[in-house]
Structure 1
Amino acid sequence: MQTTSDLNIVETRPLPTPAALLAETPAGERLAQFVARTRHDLHRILFGDDRRFLLVIGPCSIHDLEAGRDYARRLAALAPQVADRIMIVMRVYFEKPRTTIGWKGLIMDPHLDGSHDIETGLRTARAFLREVLELGLPTATELLDPITPQYIADLVCWAAIGARTTESQTHRQMASGLSMPLGFKNGTDGTLKAAINAILAASQPQTFLGVNLDGAASAVRTRGNPDCHIVLRGGSAGPNYSPEHVAATESALAKAGLPPRAILVDCSHDNSAKKPELQPEVMRELLAQIAAGNRSIMGAMIESNIEAGSQPFPQPRAALRYGVSITDGCIDWPTTEALVREIHTALAVRG
């Protein structure tokens, strides 16, 4: 018989079931309670019942576990000092979308050598998320592959859907079943329609193809996720965090019947012209809007690492500089700490 399927498949590697991996590295009752409490606090921030400012901050992606731990310890020491006005959530990003090709993140390629040892990547991701939570830091990640949440979502406090996937029906359906608050980024062109439509779709019940905890293909039915919101990240036309852009976003959200207060601004990407050193300036402009009375900007996202900038990849792992991103450029730790304290001081105007 003529073969008509799997013509381009080279290998299929079985993975452990989500249930097996969760049993191997369980959240435990204490961490589960912390995640649930954090998600509840995030819900209150989204709907204006908690006046704290949400700051999602950390490396563009995790590639070096020791540097990631180092950063997490520094952030965990800083967070309690500003906790009365800022809720800090650490970026723990394991999946990276690619326009063409490139390193897809720690889950897909944990050894950084193209071996794509996904089983090790999933185990590593769960273990690292637990380490961050153990420090008392809430976790944030971008969810790219629709199967990934079954393996790690119980350890994630806040999630994002990126600009490239906000229009994806698959990701909107996935978001409708997720248990954590989630931000949809505006499209790469900077327009809002795709993100607003995504929020509306994710808030409704959906049925889609997925896998259950035993790894079996399943029809997944959801009740909808009420805690989705928009993330402004700029676009090909330029930044979109100005007072005029924020007002237009408020209007578009209200017109769609969505809470106009729940706007988070990504200080990186096109809002900083992809120049990481400009992120503090973007943040200061947001603080100026808040000082002028804006109540819709409920948070911001900043890409930060131990050292500033980024380094080329691929290159030999031994040649990589410690604490420097191999994906998007970041601000360094001294700049980060000073900026967080500046934000805390500036937010005193909100009472």
Structure 2
Amino acid sequence: MNPLAAAPSLDPSLRNTRVAEFTPIPTPRELLDELPLTADAQAVVARGRDEVRAVLDGVDDRLLVIVGPCSIHDPEAGLDYARRLAAVAREHREDLLVVMRTYFEKPRTTIGWKGLINDPHLDGTHDVAGGLRAARKVLLDVLRLGLPTATEFLEPISPQYTADAIAWGAIGARTAESQIHRQLVSGLSMPVGFKNGTDGGLQVAIDACGAAAGGQAFLGIDDDGRAALVSTSGNADAHLVLRGGASGPNYDAESVTAASATMAAKGLNPRLIVDASHANCGKNHHRQAEVALEIGAQLSAGGPSAGAIAGVMLESFLVGGAQPLDPTMLGSLVYGQSVTDACMDWQVTEQVLAALAGAARSRRSGA
């Protein structure tokens, strides 16, 4: 065969037959140049990561509390919430390390709104370029208040646009088993928690922590949006998040102690985070507050489980509960109420945070 012979033209019926359109978006470098982290914001991120790491390692005896809306759908309401949370975080800073949930991507079991990045106008137009800008602006606004931020990493490309502004990350129950997400975490610059599987089993998350701690090589993109081989050194700050599952809740002292011992036996960090929402409360926002208080009681009581709990996750917004998202009725949405999972309201959140601060003090005095 003549190697110089012209290649045959590709039959168009063989390629991208189900792709309706390719829409260019800004490269990570372009967006980061457009919306850069200020020196003050960089300091908040760096300090937040260091403090989260210190709590996870048991060097800092405060309780890490990752709290905020299930997802950010209205940046104005999200910033309103952040201002209130910043004040409470300062009030309890001796006992709590408060990090705000700023979740922009939502996993869907079937179909539904996929989050601010994917659909910032909430109407199915999927203006991803606008969503990336909106998400980054939210992060910059929250950091300006002195609050470190947390998010769930769902898409493997979007972290290039936002991760520099994140102090703590999560990998959800649906994606903890994904090789792509384990590889991603191995290169992320902040501590990342893997949630146990939706069935309640821990093995998937434990394996994920071990995989993410090692160096990886995988396909990704660079700051200029080019496909690249990404080689990582591994993330030693990967840890376990207990969120319950089909088998039931797993925030009780026995479950926490057993999970911590299993992590230690694998040579992984035995200190973990307990998610008071999701299956641990049956997705009932009223029950979530009760679960948070029961976790606080564990801390006050002392013992192995109290020492194993590094932090708590809470879903909270201005207005309690959740509302359906109907693109034809966007003007009638309740301000400050979740359009995804039901959240505790702000008044209850203040009470829960005060109780957790007291529990952290009790744990310290009993240590």
**TM value normalised by structure 2:** 0.94
Q: Which residue of 1 aligns with 2:347?
A: 334
How far apart are residue 17 of structure 1 and its match? Answer: 0.7
How far apart are residue 287 of structure 1 and its match? Answer: 1.6
Q: 2:264 aligns with which of 226, 235, 254?
A: 254
Please tell me whether residue 24 in structure 1 is matched to residue 29 in structure 2.
no
Q: Which residue of 2 aligns with 1:311?
A: 323
Structure showing greater Rg: 2
Q: Which residue of 2 aligns with 1:266?
A: 275
Q: Which residue of 1 aligns with 2:91?
A: 81
Counterpart Cα distance in 2 of 1:48 and 1:99: 36
Counterpart Cα distance in 2 of 1:255 and 1:99: 33
Aligned partner of residue 41 in structure 2, secondary structure = helix
Decide whether the 8 Å contact of 2:322 with 2:338 is kept in 1: yes
Aligned partner of residue 69 in structure 1, secondary structure = helix
Q: Which residue of 1 aligns with 2:200?
A: 190
How far apart are residue 348 of structure 1 and its match? Answer: 1.8
What pairs up with 1:8-19 in 2 under 5 angstroms? Answer: 8-19=18-29
Decide whether the 8 Å contact of 2:173 with 2:198 is kept in 1: yes
Please tell me whether residue 298 in structure 1 is matched to residue 310 in structure 2.
yes
**TM value normalised by structure 1:** 0.98
* 1:220-270, Cα deviation, whole Å (9 max, x unpaired): 00000111111000001110111111111012101111121x210000000
What pairs up with 1:124-203 in 2 under 5 angstroms? Answer: 124-203=134-213
* 1:104-159, Cα deviation, whole Å (9 max, x unpaired): 00000000000000000001111110000000111000010000110000011111
Q: 1:323 aligns with which of 309, 317, 336?
A: 336
Paired residue type of 1:309: G
Gaps in structure 1 of 5+ consecutive residues: none
Aligned partner of residue 280 in structure 1, secondary structure = helix
Paired residue type of 1:281: E
Q: Which residue of 1 aligns with 2:7?
A: none
Runs of 4+ in 1 over 2 A off after TM superposition: none
Counterpart Cα distance in 1 of 2:338 and 2:47: 31
Q: Which residue of 1 aligns with 2:6?
A: none
* 1:67-126, Cα deviation, whole Å (9 max, x unpaired): 111101110111100000100000000000000100000000000000000000001111
Aligned partner of residue 328 in structure 1, secondary structure = coil
Please tell me whether residue 281 in structure 1 is matched to residue 293 in structure 2.
no
Q: Percent identity?
A: 53
How far apart are residue 318 of structure 1 and its match? Answer: 0.2
Aligned partner of residue 35 in structure 1, secondary structure = helix
Please tell me whether residue 209 in structure 1 is matched to residue 219 in structure 2.
yes
Paired residue type of 1:36: A
Paired residue type of 2:301: A
* Count of aligned pairs: 350
Counterpart Cα distance in 2 of 1:29 and 1:66: 24
How far apart are residue 346 of structure 1 and its match? Answer: 2.4
How far apart are residue 8 of structure 1 and its match? Answer: 0.2
How far apart are residue 162 of structure 1 and its match? Answer: 0.4
Please tell me whether residue 44 in structure 1 is matched to residue 57 in structure 2.
no
Pairwise CA RMSD of aligned residues? 0.9
Please tell me whether residue 90 in structure 1 is matched to residue 100 in structure 2.
yes
Aligned partner of residue 309 in structure 1, secondary structure = strand
Aligned partner of residue 298 in structure 2, secondary structure = helix
How far apart are residue 290 of structure 1 and its match? Answer: 1.4
Counterpart Cα distance in 2 of 1:83 and 1:152: 26
Gaps in structure 2 of 5+ consecutive residues: 1-9
How far apart are residue 276 of structure 1 and its match? Answer: 1.0
How far apart are residue 328 of structure 1 and its match? Answer: 0.1
Counterpart Cα distance in 2 of 1:121 and 1:285: 37
Please tell me whether residue 4 in structure 1 is matched to residue 14 in structure 2.
yes
